[in-house]
Structure 1
Amino acid sequence: METGDLVRELRTARGWSQGRLAAEVNAACGTALTREYVSGWERGKVRPGPFYLRALAGVFDVPQAALDAGRAPGRAGGAAAATTAALAPSVTSDLLGLGFAARLRGGPSADDWEARLDAYGTDYMSSPAADLQRRVAEDLVVVQQQLDAPAMWSAAARLMTVYATTFPRQESARSIQWFRTAAEAADRSGDVGVRVWVRGRGALALGYGGTATGLADLLADQALALTDRPSVGLLHATLGKAYAAALRGDRPAALHLADRARRIFDAAYDPSARLSDYSIPAWRMNGFLSLLSARLGDEKQSAKAREAALCELPERLPRFVTHLELHKGLTLVRAGDREGGLACARAALDALPQERWCGTLQMLMAEIAA
């Protein structure tokens, strides 16, 4: 089966029009795909390139290789079938067993889920992404069988958000889809704080990584519309929106949002908070501002924020040191020293063990190289 035929089959299996598919891709990737272009794919007039193959794989939730080779993984229920087929039989068996056991005998309580989520927040700071992804996937299979109360939707939404942060750059379409699903799940919880945090964290990750800035803007706007109460989630949303503005070249908007983020940080900062993805210590805030200034071409402000972050950053977090070195590389490239900036960034990434790499580091490296 040709790729165009497969795109049409997957689209019609979901009951989508060509316009709806174009809209889904645009929402996921911040592109301006038209219905006519989708029609061209399906009629074989033009073949989707690597970027759109990744986007379509994410929107349809199927392996990119299946689209690339023009093989249909299945019709209705294709997402689950493709995912299951892609896993080793023993892993599939274990995951299915966890899910049925949770349904038959009951899974963790709401308090147990809160404890697990708290641990994930801590582990995010230093654990390899692949390890987190495996563990969170197992928990998602279990909590999926417990979605009969708002508290369980709250736990599921936050687990989905953690899961979305674990994908490497080449699977960014999957990350995007999970951030979108997490926002929908958060709404089922009825908890404004959770709805804001999930959207804010998604906006921050997408804006920081420089991918799907349209969705980053959307999630941030939704979070900001829910409340103006200072919180980590609101800070995430504001920074994500600032990154999107900077990448669009809208310097005044980016600077305005940076000032707003500083005010939110000052109001929400908790010096006694544990080191976790759920907290923003001063060194991490400075790291976020370092990247924003680098994207705006403000070498002096980026260096100042970077040095402030390094002064307080715990030694046991080498991945975040690498982030700061990549900010430096981006600043050099934007200042005209392409060779020096690339060398700085590549040396920093090479010095970090590959199992410690994450999607946002890879996306920053691609941004510097481009």
Structure 2
Amino acid sequence: MPGESRIGTLINDLRKARGWSQRRLADEINNAFGTNLTSQYVNKWINGKVKPRGAHLRHLSAVLDVPLAVLEGEVRRRTFLTDVAGAAIAPVVASDLLSAGFTARLQGGPTTEAWEAKLATYGTDYMSLGAADIQRRVAGELVVVQQQLDSPRLWSVASRLMTLYAKTFPGADGAKAAHWYKLAAQSADQSADDDARVWVRGRAAIALGYEGASLGLADVLADQAMAISSKPSLGLVNAVMGKAHAAALRGDHDAALTLAEEGRRIFDKAGSYEQTSDYAVPWWRMNVFLSLLYARLGDEKAAVDAQEQAQRELPATLPRFATHLELHRGLMLARSGDKPAGMAYAKAAMDALPPEKHSLTLRMLMAEVDAS
């Protein structure tokens, strides 16, 4: 492209990798940071007519999930994009990770019990940390654990780490998230542990259904989970609720409601007391699932009831999930016919949350409100 700069080329390649138009990139930044960026201005970045600086660089770093140092240093796009396609880590870190992997193979890595403790920590950290930070950390763990896959229990560990890793990619990205969810399911099968097989598939299904992305894959994974075991479990709750969201987004109102009721029945037998882990489904989180589902179905009374139930028990340490509930209210307003009010409400909720707490899923919910 004539006149484009190296940073413009990088921005262009990254937005294309996500399937975003220049307008979509501008909207992602506007929704996340309350700016008034235009697609014409994005085009000036890409063509090298204007170089993004200061706040614009930070905004691009956040929405494109690219380290700020990469944008500031204008590294060669091939170096960075190859890195993203691989382990999503900076080349300077790759040497340490490779060393850790070989060391684990030659000398033995963490014990199975230590891996289980790591999983518990990641489950808690995911609830409050950003996707980019979790992605880099889990990439490193996957490099090590793949050298230790000599027992069913470690295949179970690996499958759960892969599921968490998949969730750090935007569902709208499609290929990367789908690839890792499928690989996680295959790895769980190596564990011969039905609980792990169901959980991995169920967690993928609710993530995709909640985000409104790859609904076909959400259905397939949910159906597989339900076929593996009918025993009430957190994995089965996730699977059924993921399938419910997929039905709602397709406009199948009756199927969505039937699945939601089934999900409630399973939750009554398998709901967890743990409040702040991604591996848990406590009462407040079940109601976050229901809140969005009913908002999508246009059932305002049921949605508001679920929102109030969630707010009663939502830990104050998880403000991101309070923002989820506010975006559900914005979606209800937009679906009721008052899109300007819905967008204003949702935008105010996003503005109240510190930018570093914004997640890929929240940005996708903003896009859903805008598209209503």
User: Contact between 1:167 and 1:358, CA under 8 Å: does it hold in 2?
Assistant: no
Aligned to 2:185: 183
C-alpha spacing 1:94/1:210, structure 2 compared with 1 (3 Å): same
Matching residue within 230, 245, 254 for 1:243:
245
Aligned counterparts of 1:170 and 1:245: Cα–Cα separation in 2: 18
Displacement of 1:215 in angstroms is: 0.2
Could you report, residue by residue, the CA deviation over 1:121-168 in whole angstroms, capped at 9, with x for unpaired residues? 111222222221121111000001111221111110000011111224
Amino acid in the other structure paired with 2:177: S
User: Which of 144-153 and 240-249 deviates more?
Assistant: 144-153
Aligned to 1:257: 259
User: Which of 321-330 and 352-361 deviates more?
Assistant: 352-361
Aligned to 1:292: 293
TM-score (norm 1): 0.77
Displacement of 1:53 in angstroms is: 5.2
User: Contact between 1:107 and 1:146, CA under 8 Å: does it hold in 2?
Assistant: yes
Aligned counterparts of 1:89 and 1:226: Cα–Cα separation in 2: 40
Aligned to 2:217: 215
SS at match of 1:130: helix
Matching residue within 163, 166, 191 for 1:164:
166
Amino acid in the other structure paired with 1:299: E
Displacement of 1:206 in angstroms is: 0.2
Displacement of 1:269 in angstroms is: 2.2
User: Contact between 1:168 and 1:358, CA under 8 Å: does it hold in 2?
Assistant: no
SS at match of 1:314: coil
Could you report, residue by residue, the CA deviation over 1:216-256 in whole angstroms, capped at 9, with x for unpaired residues? 00000000001111110000000000000000000000000
User: Contact between 2:83 and 2:90, CA under 8 Å: does it hold in 1?
Assistant: no
Aligned counterparts of 2:286 and 2:179: Cα–Cα separation in 1: 27
Q: Does 1:200 align with 2:202?
A: yes
Q: Does 1:229 align with 2:241?
A: no
Aligned counterparts of 2:90 and 2:290: Cα–Cα separation in 1: 42
Aligned counterparts of 1:283 and 1:118: Cα–Cα separation in 2: 20
Could you report, residue by residue, the CA deviation over 1:279-315 in whole angstroms, capped at 9, with x for unpaired residues? 2111111111000000001111111111111121111
Aligned to 2:319: 318
Amino acid in the other structure paired with 1:200: G
Aligned counterparts of 1:182 and 1:215: Cα–Cα separation in 2: 13
Aligned to 2:348: 347
Aligned counterparts of 1:311 and 1:367: Cα–Cα separation in 2: 26
The 5 A counterparts of 1:73-222 are 83=86, 87-168=89-170, 171-222=173-224
User: Identity rate of aligned residues, in percent?
Assistant: 59
Displacement of 1:357 in angstroms is: 1.7
C-alpha spacing 1:274/1:311, structure 2 compared with 1 (3 Å): closer
C-alpha spacing 1:209/1:228, structure 2 compared with 1 (3 Å): same
Listed as ranges, the gaps of 5+ residues in structure 1 are: 1-48, 55-62, 64-72
User: Contact between 1:299 and 1:335, CA under 8 Å: does it hold in 2?
Assistant: no
C-alpha spacing 1:285/1:88, structure 2 compared with 1 (3 Å): closer
SS at match of 2:278: coil
Q: CA RMSD in A?
A: 2.7
Displacement of 1:98 in angstroms is: 1.4
User: Which of 345-354 and 155-164 deviates more?
Assistant: 345-354
SS at match of 2:86: helix
Displacement of 1:365 in angstroms is: 1.0
Aligned counterparts of 2:84 and 2:181: Cα–Cα separation in 1: 21
Displacement of 1:82 in angstroms is: 5.1
Displacement of 1:50 in angstroms is: 5.0
Aligned residue pairs, count: 304
Aligned counterparts of 1:81 and 1:301: Cα–Cα separation in 2: 42
C-alpha spacing 1:249/1:366, structure 2 compared with 1 (3 Å): same
Aligned to 2:5: none
Displacement of 1:87 in angstroms is: 4.9
Could you report, residue by residue, the CA deviation over 1:41-72 in whole angstroms, capped at 9, with x for unpaired residues? xxxxxxxx958858xxxxxxxx9xxxxxxxxx
Aligned to 2:369: 368
C-alpha spacing 1:53/1:301, structure 2 compared with 1 (3 Å): closer
Amino acid in the other structure paired with 2:130: P
C-alpha spacing 1:292/1:196, structure 2 compared with 1 (3 Å): same
Aligned counterparts of 2:105 and 2:272: Cα–Cα separation in 1: 39
User: Contact between 1:243 and 1:254, CA under 8 Å: does it hold in 2?
Assistant: yes
Consecutive aligned runs of 4 or more in structure 1 exceeding 6 Å deviation: 78-81
Amino acid in the other structure paired with 2:249: L
TM-score (norm 2): 0.76
C-alpha spacing 1:113/1:51, structure 2 compared with 1 (3 Å): closer
Aligned counterparts of 1:127 and 1:254: Cα–Cα separation in 2: 31
SS at match of 1:206: helix
C-alpha spacing 1:80/1:153, structure 2 compared with 1 (3 Å): farther
